[in-house]
Amino acid sequence: MNKIFLLLMQIVFTAKRNLLIKRCIRKDMNLIADFGCGHFPNKYANVLVDQATSLDEQRGGLKIRKTGPSTFHNLDLNVFPYPFPDKHFDFLICSHVLEHLEDPVRACSEFSRIAKAGYIEVPFYCVDLFIRNNDVIHKWLCSYEPKDGFMHFVKRKSILNLLPPRSINVFLRFILQFKNVSLVWNDQLRADYLSVNVSRQSEDGGVTRRQ
């Protein structure tokens, strides 16, 4: 039952994502890249970028399905700089990848350099915390603040150590995941790290921003 429901979740969220991306794609856009495409690249992408040697089939692209003419680049997204010239891509898609990387802020900086615009999707931290099977594979909790235009990343382990959450069932997970962070950006994708500071005396938690 859970497997069927998870498949349904994938279909629904893929359709939701593609609807958002479709609104951004223009006819004059020639190079549309999917970074961290995994085994199921976005249907609008004609440039696929991922590490084909990864043991993680979902994120590593071991069985990449191509829906049309496309170019594949075997690339480790944790190695910088990326081997593309400035503003090379007309549009760059990166969905559910940044939370896996060693340095997502540097990745965002590289995306800004090599692409003119793009679409980012990451799990919303308040939801991701309760999906306990992500504890091993997700290094970061992610959020976006419209007021300052920054994506924020906090080390997942620092929050889990401070306040270990309970797990949730698959049905509640489906509903909550509509809160995924979906961000369309132009020219520059701004991001930083937030660190959690805990006072031993008062046991009050504080958040510090760092670039």
Q: Where are the domains of the chain?
A: 40-71, 77-211
3-class DSSP state of 10: helix
For 40, counting Cβ atoms within 10 Å of its Cβ (0-12 exposed, 13-18 middle, 19+ buried), the class is middle
Predicted TM-score (pTM) of the model is 0.85
Task: Indicate the range of 15-24, 182-191, 195-204 predicted with least confidence.
Answer: 195-204
Token pair, residue 26, equals 């223009």
Return the HEC string of 103-155.
CHHHHHHHHHHHECEEEEEECEHHHHCCCHHHCCCCCEEEEEECCCCEEEEEE
pLDDT of 204: 37
Name which residue leads in pLDDT, 192 or 169. Answer: 192
pLDDT of 28: 97
pLDDT of 98: 98
Token pair, residue 8, equals 């349904």
- 200 has a pLDDT exceeding 70: no
Residue with tokens 């043991």: 55
Average pLDDT (12-27) is: 94
pLDDT of 201: 34
Average pLDDT (19-45) is: 94
- Show Cβ contacts of residue 209 under 8 Å, excluding neighbours closer than 6 positions: 152, 192, 193, 194
